[in-house]
Amino acid sequence: MNAAIITAYEAPITIGRVDTPALTGDSVLIAVHAASINPIDDILRLGKMKDVMPLTFPHVMGYDVSGVVVAVGADVTQCALGDAVFARPSQNDAGAIAEFARVKGSELAMKPATLSHAQAASVPLAGLTAWQALITRGKLKAGDKVLIHAGSGGVGSFAIQIAKHIGAHIATTCSGHNIDLVKRLGADVVIDHTTDAFDQQLSDYDLVFDMLGGETMARSFTVLKPGGTMISIKGQDTENLAKKFGVHFEWFLMEPDGAMLGELGALIDTGAVQPVIGKTFTMEQSAAAYEELANGHSVGKIVVTISDSAANPETSRP
Ligand SMILES: NC(=O)c1ccc[n+]([C@@H]2O[C@H](COP(=O)([O-])OP(=O)(O)OC[C@H]3O[C@@H](n4cnc5c(N)ncnc54)[C@H](OP(=O)(O)O)[C@@H]3O)[C@@H](O)[C@H]2O)c1
């Protein structure tokens, strides 16, 4: 099959032929209609996490997939042949930007009926990360005050909408040209990080969702009220600032979860949460898609569509 691959750490992304993933008892094979890309893909490509998440080569890029089930493992109960599904496959099954992807039954959910495959592919990794940060770990509830950094990005755009649905009061940071977008998504207070200091304006927050780390994360501790919580997906509290400010700090790595993705999909079908897609590329343009992501200021998610051959398994060439 055709796929967007790298053949070594730091190698450029090219389109090449690789074996179609072998079906296992607990997995399904999906004819991929669309994938979306995430910063972690490039972090892994550059070998920055090779000690904890080593790659094998050729490595197929991408962790977010939407498509149609074309083969079902003997132990899979969550879906059937021909179902439209979306998923964030686990590390071992990475490889979304390809004609076919393998996903465990426990990691997929039915594609939201109201979304196209391109929209659905934008949801799993970023949407699950936002859900796990705010709900599973942050325990956000109605009336809480939450600061969500980078509200115009992939994770942030989902996080604002999920927090709005919960009934929280939301402050967010973004560049000036994205202020209207994040307000439309549900932000109550918007701070342009290019001109204003959020920590001069915000105080007494229950929760901070940090995805920037570094000095932004360090300054965010001052925004929390005593006993508040900071959830970061980027930085570690190496200076023990949580103790200094009397707050709780947690860093976490998101986990694939088909049941949770199904809940998020149901919420999406109510219209309460909608994907924000900044740009769409074809599989052949994958390298350009990752260049766009690497500039650090993409709006919402970047989607990669897969050609019609994968959409029609009868004419595709595994
Ligand atoms: N631990 C985990 O499990 C996990 C999971 C998912 C993501 N992550 C990490 O979380 C981070 C965000 O991921 P993502 O997919 O949302 O990335 P993304 O879509 O590339 O996010 C880019 C956004 O960051 C914003 N931004 C850049 N500098 C900013 C600043 N100083 N203040 C506020 N906003 C700023 C940009 O907004 P403007 O253009 O408006 O400035 C842009 O919208 C990445 O580092 C990723 O690796 C970790």
Domain limits, CATH 3.90.180.10, in the chain: 2-123+277-311
pLDDT digits (tens, 9 = 90+) for 268-312: 999 999 999 999 999 999 999 999 999 999 999 999 999 754 444
Domain limits, CATH 3.40.50.720, in the chain: 126-251
Contact 122, 113 (CB under 8 A): no
Q: So what's the architecture of 126-251 in CATH?
A: 3-Layer(aba) Sandwich (3.40)
Q: Whose CA is nearest to atom 29 of ligand 1?
A: 150
In order of 62, 90, 170, 214, the CA distances from 120 in angstroms are 14, 17, 25, 32
How remote is the CA of residue 208 from the centroid of ligand 1, in Å? Answer: 14
Q: Please, which pLDDT band fits residue 314 given cuts at 50, 70 and 90? A: very low
Q: Please, which pLDDT band fits residue 93 given cuts at 50, 70 and 90? A: confident
Q: Please, which pLDDT band fits residue 94 given cuts at 50, 70 and 90? A: confident
* Separation of alpha carbons 18 and 60, rounded Å: 9
3-state SS string for 236-281: CCCCCHHHHHCCEEEECCCCCCHHHHHHHHHHHHHCCCCCCEEEEE
Q: What is the DSSP letter of 75?
A: T
pLDDT confidence of residue 308: 59
How remote is the CA of residue 219 from the centroid of ligand 1, in Å? Answer: 17
Buried b / exposed e along 56-87 (16+ C-beta atoms within 10 A)? eebbbbbbbbbbbbbbbeeebebbeeebbbbb
In ligand 1, the atom with minimum distance to the C-alpha of 153 is: 43
pLDDT confidence of residue 307: 76
* Separation of alpha carbons 265 and 269, rounded Å: 6
Backbone φ, ψ for residue 113 (5° rounding): -65, -25
Of 158, 28, 176, the closest CA to residue 104 belongs to 28
Identify the CATH homologous superfamily for domain 2-123+277-311: Medium-chain alcohol dehydrogenases, catalytic domain (3.90.180.10)
Q: Does the beta carbon of 219 sit less than 6 angstroms from any atom of ligand 1?
A: no
